[in-house]
Amino acid sequence: MKKLSVQDVELRGRRVLTRVDFNVPLDAEGRITDDTRIRAALSTLEFIVARGGIPVLMSHLGRPKGQRQDKLSLRPVADRLAELTSIPIRFANDCVGEPAKKMVDDLKEGEIGLLENLRFHSAETENDPAFAMQLAELGDIYANDAFGTAHRAHASTVGVTRHFDQRVSGLLMDKELENLGSLLGNPRRPFVAVLGGAKVSGKIEVIEFLLGKVDAILVGGGMAFTFFKGHGIDVGKSLVEDSLIEKVRAISELAKESTTQLLLPQDVIVSSEFGEHGERKEVLVTDIPENWQGLDVGSRTLAQFSDVIAKAGTIFWNGPMGVFEIPAFAKGTRAIARAVAKATDAGAQSVVGGGDSVAALTQMGVAQQISHVSTGGGASIEFLAGKPLPGVDALSDASSLPV
């Protein structure tokens, strides 16, 4: 069901309480190292202001666990937002109570207000009704532009919506739902899903859901070793989720009976120890030495995966092929980034989500070649697994528009 959009409602003179995703990465000194998420929200914020609305922004940053932490304040985000737009920015040093009310009361048309970190209050993640009501008092209409948090039923994504007649999606949310929705609607064939990451537990449901819906699933990263062990292969000290071995065996059998080709790595880069200093070599997955661990996919695998990707009409990629944060084991992830970008240039539709996958695109300088870079890794996976997203379900349906 298409959701009511910020483009569909009257905004002039109305305070638009807007959930954004300003959960940006910070260095040890608290400086923003990547402002992609702030930039991604600009189109919605500038649209609201251009239509005469007054954006009141809510976001979390990090995991302060209900405690005020200066290093996780959104003040640096407010400063960066002020650098990225000519619209004046006001900041409240709390998201509820008198500081928030005063900031909102002082806001004028043509300005943006940003509230302090929602998660300085444990009531946010608990979806506390009283906290949600306090947030709701700060706006006349509710907008959600934070797809990255849409899979969380928190006060700012679900609880607060009960106090608004009009609950709209922002332009970024519209774009996310349109692009991800097209993957499950009528994708160009072949449709290839590339799934990586450390644990199969984070992807098991999407693999199961996509069987019979995509033409190929390429599995890399640490999650592949649970499949190998399920097939009776000795994986040394590689990461394995023993509780899921029976489940991955069942999925492998289902794949054989479906129209989906489930491809696992043929070879891997192994190391005598985790980190940069161990001895490394490339081996077939059947030849992993005892006490060694697999930390990246090998050259045969990259050749095979790249060939499948090159022939794709639609590509969804989420998750690294190895321990991407260690340069010695980033080759596989970077190669997939190049392959997806090249296939997109050749006419494929590509959607990429997940922090490491997006970071690889950026490092390789090919992010602009991708059809859609999703701002929500976990949310995109749950969407592709056919799960409801509470933050999306809470928005008004487009059918609520007056005829």
Q: Which parts of 192-330 fold into alpha helices (H)?
A: 204-210, 224-230, 245-257, 299-310
Residues 224 and 337 reside in one and the same domain: yes
Rounded Cα–Cα distance for residues 330 and 320 (Å): 8
Nearest to 193 by CA among 386, 381, 388: 381
Instruction: Please give the structure tokens belonging to residue 369.
Output: 């070649």
Same domain, 249 and 279: yes
Residue range 61-90: mean pLDDT, rounded: 95
Q: 3-class SS at 394?
A: coil
**Mean pLDDT, residues 314-335:** 93
The residues facing 192 across adjacent strands are 216, 315
Structure tokens at 232: 């009776």
Total domains in the chain come to 2
Residue 10 lies inside a defined structural domain of this protein: yes
Q: Given a cut of 70, is residue 68 above it in pLDDT?
A: yes
Predicted pLDDT at 402: 53
Rounded distance between C-alpha atoms, residue 120 and residue 123, angstroms: 9
373 and 339 fall within a common domain? yes
Is 401 part of a structural domain of the chain? no
Query: For residue 276, which of 326, 347, 341 has the smallest C-alpha distance?
Result: 326
Positive/negative CA dihedral, 125, 131, 135, 141: positive
Q: pLDDT tens digit string along 288-306?
A: 999 999 999 999 999 999 9
Q: Are residues 213 and 264 in the same domain?
A: yes
Q: Are residues 197 and 339 in the same domain?
A: yes
CATH of the domain at 78: 3.40.50.1260
In a domain, residue 309? The reply is yes
Same domain for 157 and 264, yes or no, is no
- 142 CB burial (10 A radius; 0-12, 13-18, 19+): buried
Does any domain span residue 1?
A: no
Give CA–CA dist 218/298, Å, rounded.
14
Residue-number span of the structural domain to which 39 is assigned: 6-174
Q: Is 403 domain-assigned?
A: no
* pLDDT beyond 50 at 375: yes
Tens of pLDDT, residue by residue over 38-65, are 999 999 999 999 999 999 999 999 999 9
How many helices (DSSP H) and strands (DSSP E) are in the chain?
14, 15
User: What would the pLDDT profile of 83-128 be if each residue is shown by its tens digit?
Assistant: 999 999 999 999 999 999 999 999 999 999 999 999 999 999 999 9
Q: State whether residue 254 is helix, strand or coil.
A: helix
SS3 category, 249: helix
pLDDT (tens digit per residue) in 141-159: 999 999 989 999 999 999 9
pLDDT-wise least confident of 9-13, 42-46, 387-391:
387-391
Q: Which of 146, 174, 202 is the last residue of a domain?
A: 174
Residue 194 pairs in a beta bridge with 218, 317
Instruction: Give yes or no: residues 213 and 316 share one domain.
Output: yes
Q: Which amino acid is at 257?
A: E
pLDDT at 155: 98
Whose tokens are 């969380």? That residue is 152
pLDDT at 400 over 70: no
Q: Residues 244, 341: one domain?
A: yes
Where is the domain boundary, 124, 140, 174? Answer: 174
| 60 located within any domain | yes
User: What residues does 169 pair with on adjacent strands?
Assistant: 5, 144
pLDDT value for 401: 57
Q: What percent of the chain has pLDDT over 90?
A: 81
Residues with active-site annotation: 37, 199, 355, 378
Q: State the Cα–Cα distance between residues 291 and 126, nearest whole angstrom.
A: 43
Sorted by sequence, the CB contacts under 8 Å of residue 147 that are 6+ apart come out as 21, 172, 173, 176, 177, 374, 375, 376, 379, 380, 391
Q: Who's near 212: CB < 8 A, 6+ residues apart?
A: 258, 259, 260
Residue 76 resides in a domain: yes
Is residue 96 located within the same domain as residue 221? no
- Name the 3-class secondary structure at 297: strand
Q: Let me know whether 34 and 102 are in one domain.
A: yes
Last residue of a domain, one of 174, 196, 211: 174
Where do we find the tokens 């692009």?
179
In a domain, 30, yes or no: yes
Q: Tell whether 209 and 341 lie within a shared domain.
A: yes
Looking at the fold, whether 125 and 210 belong to one and the same domain comes out as: no
